[in-house]
Amino acid sequence: MNEVIKSILSAQFFYSVLRVTTPVLFAALGALLSDVAGVINIALEGLMLMSAFWGVMVSAWTGSAWIGLLAGVTSAVLLSLALAYFHLNLKTDLILAGIALNMFASGSTVFLLYLFSGDKGSSSSVKSYVLPNVDIPGIKNIPILGDILSGHHVLTYIAFLSVFVVQYLIYKTPLGLRMRAVGENPNAAQSVGISVKRIKYTSLVLSGLMAGLGGAFLSMGYVSWFARDMTNGRGFIGLAAQALGGKSAYGSMWGALLFGAAEATSYTLQAIRIPSEFTNMLPFIFTIIALIIYARAKIMQIKKIREKQTSHEEVGL
């Protein structure tokens, strides 16, 4: 028991929280980037899977992990463009198109894996490459903090840096302003000359970029192979983490960290035979509660505005 508590409070535990959080964080940022423009990107799961697959395959063919990463991210962005095209040009329902693309990614990656390697389960017989871990010179030597923060996978750092970039993009740039305008009221945005379609395309591409990085992390860092359906719901968990955190990148990050901590804890608790199902379930329940809180807050807001309006009207009379 003591060993377990010691283990949870150890530097390595926090290190592993950051690692487990990384793919969820990418997915959450992807969810956020499309959500602010009013698009729910259900396809994150499939986008990540696609990227995980092509990252492994192309790195094996070219012998370069970086080209693999590029290919993985490109595949996710292309699939995201397909989602945008179906939704915005062919008027397919967004949710159904997303579900279809998830299916497509799941089926096609297994089928292509079989085609390229003869295996149907995982790419363990393919010699693929992983992206490096990075030591941060200054921080590395600080006792506990160094153990937690240094030596992570390069994409883990990119994930956490992306939090700030995304937050800046959404709230401090003209593009972000337009995205938010489209998300809040597309008609109003259209009327002031913003191309709603183009903004939605842009946000889906950015969303795909994030999902692609997350997927590549899974197969080129977290583990060193591709396995069928290896995203294992992380795209959906990203949606949950974003829903938990509201419309800010920092919120998404904390949401993702909660899911990451729950997952890491469940691995450690296994040793004392505590049901991991419980720890795994908790973040989802938090998310549901958060959804209720947000929805209630929104209703209150609308009520207040209505009350204000009616009182104004009374004055007018």
Partner 1 sequence: MKKLLVVLLAVLVVMAFANLKVALLINGTLGDKSFFDSAARGIKMAEEKLGIDGKIIEMGYDQSAWRPTLEDIADQDYDVIIVGTWQMKEILEDVAPMYPEKKFIIFDTSVDYSLGDLDNVYSILYKQNEGSFLVGALAAMITTSGMPKTNPQPIIGFLGGMDIPVINDFLVGYIEGAKYINPNIKIIISYAGAFNDPAKGKELVLAQYRQGADISFNVAGETGIGLLEAAKEMDKWAIGVDSDQALAVEDQDPVKAQHIVTSMMKNVDLSIYRALKLTIEGKCPYGKAEALGIAEKGVGIADNKYYRQIVPKKFRDKIKEIENLILEGKIKVDTVFGMSRKKLDELRNSVRP
Partner 2 sequence: MRRDRIIFETVRTTLTILIALLIGYVILLFATDKANEAFKWFLLGPLSTKRRIVELLNRTTPLIFTGLAVSVVFQAEIFNIGAEGQLFFGAVAATFAALYFPHIKFLQIILVMLFAMAAGGAWAAVPAYMKAKWNASELVSSLMMNYVAFFFGLYLVNYHMRDVNAGALVSYRFPRTAWLPRMLRRYNLHPGILIAIGFALLVWFFLYRTKYGYELRMVGKNKEFARFSGIKVENVVIYSQIISGMIAGLAGAIELMGLYKRFVWQMTPGYGFDGIIVALLARNNPLMVIPAALFISYLRTGSYVMGRMTGIAPEIVVMLQAIMILLITAEAFLAFWKRRMIEKSAMSREE
The span from the CA of 64 to the CA of 67, in Å, is 5
Chosen from partner 1, partner 2, none, partner binding at 294 (C-beta under 5 to 8 Å by type) = partner 2
One residue of 48, 240, 253, 257 binding partner 2 per CB under 8 A: 240
Interface segment toward partner 1; rule CB under 8 A; list 137-145, 243-251, 263-271, 302-310? 263-271
Whether 206 and 29 have beta carbons less than 8 Å apart is answered as: no
Q: What string marks each residue from 187 to 226 as x (binds partner 2 by CB under 8 A) or -? A: ----------------------------------------
Paired residues of 134 in beta bridges: 152
106 contacts partner 2 (rule: CB under 8 A):
yes
Q: Which of residues 124-163 bind partner 1 (CB under 8 A)?
A: 124-127
Instruction: Give the distance from CA 106 to its chain's centroid.
Output: 17
Q: Smallest distance from the beta carbon of 39 to partner 2, in angstroms? A: 13
Burial string for 239-274 (b: 16+ CB within 10 Å, else e) reads bbbbbbbbbbbebbbebbbbbbbbbbbbebbeeeee
Pick the closer one to partner 1 by CB: 205 or 213. Answer: 213
Pick the closer one to partner 2 by CB: 224 or 280. Answer: 280
Q: Which of residues 70-129 bind partner 1 (CB under 8 A)?
A: 119-122, 124-127
Instruction: Give the distance from CA 48 to its chain's centroid.
Output: 9
Could you give the residue ranges of the DSSP H alpha helices within 154-233? 154-172, 174-184, 186-191, 196-217
One residue of 298, 303, 306, 308 binding partner 2 per CB under 8 A: 298
Instruction: Give the distance from CA 55 to its chain's centroid.
Output: 17
Find, among 235, 217, 83, the residue nearest to 158 by Cα. Answer: 217
The span from the CA of 275 to the CA of 187, in Å, is 50
Pick the closer one to partner 2 by CB: 117 or 224. Answer: 117
Q: Is 211 left (phi over 0), alpha (psi -120 to 50) or beta?
A: alpha
Query: In the complex, which residues of this chain contact partner 2 (CB under 8 A)?
Result: 40, 86, 89-93, 95-97, 99-104, 106-108, 110-111, 113-115, 120, 233, 236-237, 239-240, 243, 275, 277-278, 280-281, 284-285, 287-288, 291-292, 294-296, 298-299
Query: In the complex, which residues of this chain contact partner 1 (CB under 8 A)?
Result: 3-4, 7, 10, 12-13, 16, 20, 119-122, 124-127, 218, 222-225, 227-228, 230, 232, 263-264, 267-268, 270-272, 276
